[in-house]
Structure 1
Amino acid sequence: MIRELVQEASSKYPFGGDDFFQQIVGSALLSAPFIFTEEVWTIASNTSTQQSLASIAVTLLLGHGILYVAKQDRDFETERKVFGVTLRYISLMAVSFGSVLLVLTLTATAQTFGASTAEILKTVSIISVFSVIGAATADNLI
């Protein structure tokens, strides 16, 4: 009975736990090398607020493009939505930004580079561009 309910939900709403973990793996694969690279932290320290906002906009657009434009057989209408935004897209953004923040929290990278809160946020905005590419691509592949 439970298995039938899960299968019915999976066919009706295609985004599930497996997709979420694929996003995490893809995000980690592409973003991890940038987190520990001094050049990225130097670039972030010289990045303006407008450039950081542009990076965030690129992350949001790339995520949508890879999920719903590049994968043409994905039906946007059948996806579960929260306030009109698909759960898959919300998950993608949470993973893309959250995985970078999580690794920074678990390691002493920001402290090692002597980064301020503003520099940490700028770094996250830069690395999230790569994170979303990995996460969305992994979600699309399988």
Structure 2
Amino acid sequence: MKLKRPSRPRGFRVADSAQQLVGGFLLAGPFVVTEEVWVLAANMSVFHALATVGVVFAIGYATLYKADTNRDPDDEQNVGGIPLRFISLMLVSFGSVVILAALFDAPDTFLRGTESNGAIAVTIFKTVSVGAIFSVVGAATADSVFSQ
């Protein structure tokens, strides 16, 4: 019987965030520029948006730590008990949607003259929550596939 040396967990690197960014931006793009997503978000309640945020967190965690059996959240670098990889994933998932919406001026395009400034901010939040569902799938998949 040959003894195996225990493997040390690979630390979270800038390259890991870069992989997440590629996947996150790739899948977020089509949803930021689609009018139907903005109309859907405008008609969602804040409760639905918060539930959607919860789904994004669940998808991200499940993809990183449940679907990938080689990864253990307890073995990773963490901030306040939360794995740094997961924090990065959430920043990328929501941030990529925000950045693309700003770059494409999507709120002004899809919400022009429809609502007050406060309502526009809420609609943007709801739209980001919808787009982040798709972004997190791309970001977490890219992280899992390319970090092997």
What TM-score does the superposition give when structure 2 sets the normalisation length? 0.85
2:62 to 60, 65, 76: 65
Identity of aligned residues (%): 45
Q: Mean Cα displacement is larger for which, 72-81 or 26-35?
A: 72-81
The alignment status of 1:123 with 2:127, answered yes or no, reads yes
Structure 1, gaps ≥5 residues long: 1-10
Which residue in 2 is equivalent to 1:141?
145
1:77 to 74, 77, 85: 74
Any conservation in 2 of the 1:13–1:78 contact (CA below 8 Å)?
A: no
Q: How does 1:32-111 map to 2 (within 5 A)?
A: 32-111=29-108
Aligned residues: 132
C-alpha distance in 1 between matches for 2:27 and 2:11: 25
Which residue in 2 is equivalent to 1:18?
15
C-alpha distance in 1 between matches for 2:85 and 2:26: 19
Structure 2, gaps ≥5 residues long: 1-7, 113-119
C-alpha distance in 2 between matches for 1:12 and 1:109: 41
Task: Let me know the Cα RMSD of the aligned residues.
Answer: 1.2
- How far is 1:29 from its partner? 1.0
Counterpart amino acid of residue 113 in structure 1:
F
Kindly report structure 1 stretches of 4+ aligned residues shifted beyond 3 Å: none
- How far is 1:13 from its partner? 4.2
